[in-house]
Amino acid sequence: MKEPAEFELQDERTAEKRYGEQLRKDARNRPRPQSFTGTKVPEGPRALPGQFFGRVALTKPDEVMTGKRNDFYIGERHATVDGVEVYSWTAPIACSYFRKNHQHTSRNQLGELCGDVAVIRSYAHVNGRITEFEDDVLRDDAPSQPFPRRGLSVPAAPAKRSPLPGKRVSEPVVPTLGAAVESDTAGLSSRMGMTSHSKGINEGSGIRAEELLRSQLSAPRGKGLGPVLSTLQADQYELVTLSPQESAVIEGQPGTGKTIVASHRAAYLVNDETPRSHRVAGTVLVVGPTSGYSRHIRDIVQRLGDGSDQIVVLSMPELMGEILKLVDDPTGPASSVWFDADSMLGRLARLAIDLCRKAGVAGLSRKMVYECLQMNRAGGRALTQNVEWSSYLRSLPVYKKALSLRVHRPLLSLIEWEVDRPSDFGRIGHVIVDEAQDVTALEWSLLRSINEGHAVAKGNSWTILGDLNQRRSDHTLSSWDSVFDELDLDPDTKIRHLARAYRSTKPILEFANQLLPRKHRRAEAFQYDGPPPWLHKVNAKDLGSAVRLDATRLIDAYPLGTVAVITVQPDPIRKTLRKAGWTAKSFDMRLWIYNGTEVAVLQPDSARGLEFDAVVVVEPADFPSNYGRQGPLYTALTRANRELVVVHSKPLPRELKTS
């Protein structure tokens, strides 16, 4: 006979299957007038797969929310399945699952409902199928069988038993004073008992579904970001669901969940089951650092956003390419001198446009404005009397050359936006900027024009995420106050912090944190176990072969995961791989394959915002530093989830020599 937990697992799979069927049925009846095909016929509504993220059991039924039952699910959309309510993860009632009280108001009475929560269940999926679940018991008066089953008769559980397959049960929390723990409740798990850690779940500081989360973090990394709503923690949920009426700056060290928050927030802001007061009417523009980042999050944003065409995900280079209608990648550095990245350059461009228009210049184009800047003259007057700026403007290359150079893309994009604003982006309702520490003042000026120029309402807000310790250039802004100045935001805009690092193990994070000033080593590693970083010193002539061998070992160690080599000088590594029989899978030679295995070979810029099971960092001494900080190296070291290898022939940076 099957164990009760196995019965429950099958029961949950059946319920989820019925949920998917219901969503497909509902989708056929749900209009989707905002999406059109090339034939101008409205596109059929997209049906979500129908996935449960969680389940909530109350101490007693809630007449309004649960009817005669005392439980409900949290899923992708609202539906009623066999008399059980499934609420969307974007609905305010989801706070009962995510355990954050910022959704509580006197009108919705969610505070009372959340106080009645006895047990919350979180699910793990593999290939769209529930594989296990974990229960967090929040009250010691929780019923022994909190979740009614689908007509199954199961014998009462014995008082003690070993953990069952497919089910984990966490300790009860926030006990009712003076109440005794019933024997049936104690029989839920041999690990039952009070702990100070578990008490924090109701206070928003503890970890929900802790064992499930640890299991998922130790599992192989996929190539793209997947939904994490089952294990999304209270601090992350609060940031995802902030009102879009005010701007938010979210700071956190690597692996604290900034990209998770950015992607899930984009979907939250456009989901039609999000409360109207938190829904954005126009387009949500998500801006990241690289095209790899865009690919990394695009699928999950579209899925969680129900396929909405209100979300546009672009890297900063992709955004500028879209504005300029250019498909070729530019060449050269992002900036050579501070003038290249200064927002003053944008102000001079706007002045030139204004003077040309006042002078009645016909057919104004970006080429004409750019050439006005070169001459430091527009509409019959000089743009600036400053000697340094005059000299810089005169040094600008000819227009055709400027189009091909990376350093001038922000300026040309800003001119194009101001002269002939493209309509491709629709009306902007909110802008989310991830890896914001790498945005220059001139790029912020462009983003401000985009957010204001196509705004649904005056004073569009922002969600800005970043880590100033990961700055890769002296020509980016060194403080959030400087960002506030560029965007004309209230100087008292609240800076929120993500304090728990989920991605990298404690040994990896502690190793990388040596590069930071002590006062900035704030993140607490969630994953304690893992091999220490391996420092592999070799002769310079053996560097390439050592990297290949280390990468091969890591591929063997993580056959279902992902492995990357991050290096300032990728050509020697690529040459070594090619000699050993590896071939480039992509035109940009970032992905290499051999006998069905893959390894990514990336420069530091391309690795931003990404994560891998294991990483080989090559020659730390070659990584550029800025203002005494090692932002690019710090970013590279923290891309690893499970294992980090550092291969070097040159001396390590002083901060890492103590390891």
Q: Specify binding-site residues for ATP.
A: 252-259
Token code pair at residue 612: 């891998």
Q: Distance (Å, rounded) from C-alpha 241 to C-alpha 274?
A: 9
Q: Distance (Å, rounded) from C-alpha 82 to C-alpha 246?
A: 40
Beta-strand pair 84-88/381-382: unpaired
* Phi, psi for residue 469 in degrees, rounded to 5: -70, -10
Q: Distance (Å, rounded) from C-alpha 509 to C-alpha 251?
A: 17
Is the CB of residue 606 less than 8 Å from the CB of residue 590?
Answer: yes
**Could you give the maximum distance between any two Cα atoms of the chain, in Å?**
91
Bridge partners for 525 per DSSP: 501
Q: What SS3 state is found at 125?
A: strand
- Residue 656, C-beta contacts closer than 8 angstroms, at least 6 positions apart: 511, 514, 515, 535, 620, 646
Nearest-CA neighbor of 188 among 145, 153, 131? Answer: 145
* Phi, psi for residue 68 in degrees, rounded to 5: -85, -10
SS3 content of the chain, % helix, strand, coil (to 5): 40, 20, 40
Is the CB of residue 263 less than 8 Å from the CB of residue 286?
Answer: yes
Nearest-CA neighbor of 519 among 253, 182, 236? Answer: 253
Angle at 284 between CA 265 and CA 53, to 5 degrees: 30
DSSP H helical ranges for 462-542: 480-487, 506-513
Token code pair at residue 186: 């104690």
* Phi, psi for residue 349 in degrees, rounded to 5: -65, -45
Q: What SS3 state is found at 593?
A: strand
Nearest-CA neighbor of 561 among 225, 308, 310, 220? Answer: 220
| Strands lying side by side in the sheet with 591-594 | 534-537, 640-648, 612-618, 563-567, 597-602, 591-594, 583-584
Token code pair at residue 595: 């006998």
Beta-strand pair 583-584/591-594: antiparallel
DSSP H helical ranges for 44-132: 95-98, 110-115
DSSP string, 628-640: TB-HHHHHHHTTE
Binding-site residue set = 252-259
Measured from the Cβ of residue 596, the count of other Cβ atoms closer than 10 Å reads 6
Beta-strand pair 462-466/248-252: parallel
Count of residues making up the chain: 659
Nearest-CA neighbor of 86 among 176, 159, 16? Answer: 16
